[in-house]
Amino acid sequence: MIEVLVMAVALSMDAFAVSIGLGAKHSVQKRKLAFLAAAYFGVFQGVMPLIGYLGGQGVLGWVEAYAPWIAFALLLFIGGKMIYEALSEGIEEDIAQITQRVMLMLAIATSIDAMAAGFALTVMEVNPFISCLIIAVTTAIFSFAGVYIGDKSGTWLESKAELLGGVVLILIGFKMLM
């Protein structure tokens, strides 16, 4: 279960980074923004791995011998993408007003990677529903805190969080091969 918690923290780093950016750039109604970020990012980050897990279960019989390699490749790709995004400019720069639609788009954008990571749950000996709940709650906590951290510290921590998440996912991928 430790692997799931580590994966949850790593997967939540992109939502955490976006939350920091939102908190740094939008100083009105912090509490509302923090709850919105926690709700949207937490729910989507919890549902998407479940979708990936269920999809992975459907094809696991065909690719069972290669499943650890596929999980490794997906985690390597996701981690590399997070590292790349950490080194480039974030989307929060262009957001003038936070609406439900904007939060929905951000939640989808930050959780697509979690769907691919959900496939990795098929090769781990864990309960997928509890794992996805842990991912959702972890992301909600990080997102809520991210808004306040962004308000206090600005955006300097934003890319570092995403970079750390990418490195951790790559390390989890390597561990799956062992």
Domain membership flag for residue 25: no
Please classify residue 56 by burial: count the beta carbons closer than 10 Å to its beta carbon, then call 0-12 exposed, 13-18 middle and 19+ buried: buried
* The amino acid at 62: W
Whether 157 is in a domain gets the answer: yes
Q: How far is CA 168 from CA 14, 22, 45, 113, in A?
A: 12, 24, 17, 14
Which residue segment(s) compose the domain that 106 sits in? 10-19+30-177
Residue 162 structure tokens? 């995403």
SS3 166: helix
- Backbone φ and ψ for 16, nearest 5 degrees, come out as -60, -45
In a domain, 2, yes or no: no
Note whether residue 4 is domain-resident: no
| 114 and 52 Cβ atoms separated by less than 8 Å | yes
Asked if residue 45 belongs to a domain, the reply is: yes
Residue from 124, 112, 141 nearest 52 by CA = 112
Count of structural domains, the chain: 1
Q: Average pLDDT for residues 142-169, to the nearest whole number?
A: 79
**Residue 132, domain member (yes or no):** yes
99-to-13, 81, 133 alpha-carbon distances in Å: 22, 27, 26
The pLDDT tens digits of the residues spanning 24-40 come to 877 678 899 999 999 99
pLDDT average, residue stretch 70-94: 71
Residue 64 lies in a domain: yes
> Using one digit for the tens of pLDDT, what is the confidence trace for 114-139?
888 888 888 788 899 999 999 999 99
| Average confidence (pLDDT) over 59-69 | 71
| 37 found inside a domain | yes
